[in-house]
Amino acid sequence: MTRNTALRETIPLPDTITGRSIVLVGLMGAGKTSIGRRLAARLGLPFRDADAEIELAAGCTIPELFARYGEPAFRDGERRVIRRLLAGDPMVLAFGGGAFMDAETRAATRAEAVSVWLRCPLPVLVRRVASRDNRPLLAGGDPEETLRRLMSVRDPVYAEADLIVDCGEESADHTTAQVLDKLLTWKPARRLSVVLPSTSYDVVIGDNLLARAGALLAPRLPQKRAVVITDSAVAPLHLPTLQAGLAETAIDCSTIVVPNGEATKNLDTYLSVVDQLLEQRVERRTAVIALGGGVVGDLAGFAAATTLRGLPFIQIPTTLLSQVDSSVGGKTGVNTRRGKNLVGAFYQPRMVLADTGTLATLPPRELRAGYAEIAKAGLIGDAAFFDWCERFGQAVVGGDPDAQAEAIKRACAFKAAVVGDDEREEKPNDGRALLNLGHTFGHALEAEYGYTGGLLHGEGVAVGLGLAFKLSARLGLCPQADADRVIGHIASVGLPAELSMLNRRFSTETLIGHMRRDKKMRDGALHFVLARGIGQAFTSRDVPPEAVVELLRDEGCAP
């Protein structure tokens, strides 16, 4: 084959990978070098073998390095050589079998490259390495037993690779084609960094994250042990996939299943969860993983915050509402008969995994309810995002995965910026309190329904958004056209935007009574988030009570 022919057959990498190296990991005998050479030729990239580069740098063979200096010294040199290679121009790089076991090397690989684990069955590996005498770890022992032991230790770490390709007796060309197919079709998850005064963490957004939970969480967990807290509705849908994903990287997990529904978020359930955590003899390094909607996230987060004075906490929200709202920001807690979220703590997660695949299992009503918090983000402080919502909102509630992922990322980015500026809601004006746009009305409506599911949180917020803009227009703060625009958009995605859409009669006195018991009360005064226009929200404690009464009565509420 001529050089020109080879160039014509070069396959361009997708934009998601362009500019990054491709790293092949796996046990000795997996074919990293032979496949790596073929892969590099197909991609038009240089190929490097980490072991060969180490020998070149050291001026001797790897067996000689082991004999002279021992494995620890070899691993230190290996780490430095790999970091130098990854810092250079993109290439296909084959790691030695033990290189990926080093935490620093894995971190550098995640930052600079796309990693591919060539997963090969034991009999194939034994056959391939049996006749070779340049494997220090096989010297003087039974190759099969040594490889079996190495697999038990290394496979859970190799599973942290970005991609996994199973290979066996197939030819190197066949396996190379498999690797290429994985690379060309791979859609890396969207990532968003939440940076706070107290800590920082990533929100990872994408499809099939539950199956890859072990790979994503292993670098964040101080111990390969976790307790998954979920509810009776989510457990049969998503718990087995999460358990398999965690097991892939040898994360041992047990489960606590609570009843489904808002009524579960109470002090009795909280105490039961804490008791079960203690009964399972959790340690301070044992993680709590919340798998479910906002109720599970709030409840599990509060239990994690208070058990043993704080356990590592992971959020895996499975509803659109929790993916864009409650899972980000660190608010945890439970309801009491006095009101919603009145007992709780600020407690940040180590990571948030928002698997958009779980949204396909939601009833349409719950999917629409979650959308209210997305629109809210644009209405508070990002008019361009609200424009986006008007264009793509129906695609989000209609189940379009790309639109959902983009909406989640944008809404979370907005909330992260607000929370980063006011983590514990301590600013007297604006700050994190802005996130309560629509919530003073919404929480009052939820309380009126008794948190029984007759009105979902997002539905209450949707009505609350309409009322907040109507009140703002009545007070001369924003044009009536903006209020009409907000109500029109909310209604267009199938959400209730006005009290009349709830098909229930309310009492003005009762609703205002619920508002006065809300935790947003300050110095006995009602605290509202109002707007001067789309994307121009602000907090106010100067709303005349009679204006609220008049609004509610005009909306059809009884005195």
Fold classification of 190-362 is: Rossmann fold (3.40.50)
- What is d(CA 251, CA 215) in angstroms, rounded to the nearest whole number? 10
Alpha-carbon distances, residue 553 vs 529, 543, 559 (angstroms): 20, 16, 7
Q: What residue type is 378 in one-letter code?
A: G
The pLDDT value recorded for residue 8 is 45
- Crossing angle of helices 401-421/383-397, nearest 10°? 140
The pLDDT tens digits of the residues spanning 540-557 come to: 988 999 999 999 999 999
What average pLDDT does range 470-481 have in this prediction? 98
Percent of the chain at pLDDT > 70 equals 96
Strands (E), 124-279: 163-166, 190-195, 200-206, 225-231, 252-258
The pLDDT value recorded for residue 431 is 87
The pLDDT tens digits of the residues spanning 129-163 come to: 876 655 655 666 788 898 999 999 999 999 999 99
Q: Is the pLDDT of residue 267 over 90?
A: yes
Q: How far is CA 180 from the centre of its chain?
A: 27
Model confidence at 339, in pLDDT bands (50, 70, 90)?
Answer: confident
The pLDDT value recorded for residue 70 is 87
Q: Is the pLDDT of residue 213 over 90?
A: yes
The pLDDT tens digits of the residues spanning 74-105 come to: 889 999 999 999 999 999 999 999 999 999 99
Token pair recorded at residue 336: 């009491």
Fold classification of 3-185 is: Rossmann fold (3.40.50)
Q: Do 3-185 and 413-554 share a fold?
A: no
What average pLDDT does range 113-124 have in this prediction? 96
Each domain of the chain, given as residue ranges in start order, spans 3-185, 190-362, 413-554
What average pLDDT does range 506-512 have in this prediction? 96
Q: Is the pLDDT of residue 165 over 80?
A: yes
The mean predicted confidence, pLDDT, of the chain is 93
Q: Is the pLDDT of residue 7 over 50?
A: no
Fold classification of 413-554 is: Dehydroquinate synthase-like, alpha domain (1.20.1090)
Instruction: Give the torsion through C-alpha atoms of 491, 493, 494, 495, to 10 deg.
Output: -60
Q: What is the 3-state secondary structure (H, E, C) of 116-154?
A: EEEECCHHHHHHHHCCCCCCHHHCCCCHHHHHHHHHHHH
The pLDDT value recorded for residue 520 is 62
- What is d(CA 85, CA 228) in angstroms, rounded to the nearest whole number? 39
